[in-house]
Amino acid sequence: MLYTILSISLLTVMAGAAIAPALGVISAHFAGRNPLLIQLIVSLPALFIILTNLVFPWLCRLMKTRTLALTGLALYVLSGSGAFFVYNIWMLLEFRAMMGVSVGMIMPLSTGLLAYYFPTQKFLKMLPRTSSVVMSPVMRPR
């Protein structure tokens, strides 16, 4: 269970890190386009992560945890692989926005699952040393 949840949380890092090495090639491919559009390829997912996190409590009431996780993972796979097949900058940006939505669903879910399934001491050991997480009484694991 621990490795599954940690693998899911690793996907959130991969969303931004995977595109960075290819940005030069993407920029050369869309050479006639505005450079701001090329920069949006990297920064647009972050905007949609924020927007998705704002509606995440509503999504949690709407869907069960398993459905939410599978929906986020399906969107992640679709948006990540779909961006490979497009030749239009606007379609690429749409897939990157969808990537942001999927990461916005997966990120708080993975942290919440760690807090739910593991005792407080074990949960705190899994967090980075620099993390200063203060858990509210609602988030405290059982």
Q: Number of structural domains, the chain?
A: 1
Residue 33 in domain: yes
d(CA 61, CA 88): 36
pLDDT digits (tens, 9 = 90+) for 37-59: 888 988 899 999 999 999 999 99
Residue 24 in domain: yes
Residue 126 in domain: no
pLDDT digits (tens, 9 = 90+) for 61-93: 999 988 998 999 999 999 989 988 998 999 999
Are the CB atoms for 135 and 120 separated by under 8 Å? yes
Residue 137 in domain: no
Residue 140 in domain: no
Residue 99 in domain: yes
d(CA 14, CA 107): 12
In the numeric block, which tokens belong to residue 99?
């990537």
d(CA 102, CA 16): 12
DSSP-assigned states of every residue in 64-125: -HHHHHHHHHHHHHHHHHHGGG---HHHHHHHHHHHHHHHHHHHHHHHHHHHHHS-HHHHHH
d(CA 14, CA 18): 5
Are the CB atoms for 74 and 101 separated by under 8 Å? no
Q: Which domain holds residue 18?
A: 2-120
> Which pLDDT value is given to residue 141?
47
Whole-number percent of the chain with pLDDT over 70: 83
Residue 142 in domain: no
Q: How confident is the model at residue 126 (pLDDT cuts 50, 70, 90)?
A: low
Residue 80 in domain: yes
pTM reported for the whole predicted model: 0.77
End-to-end CA distance of the chain: 16
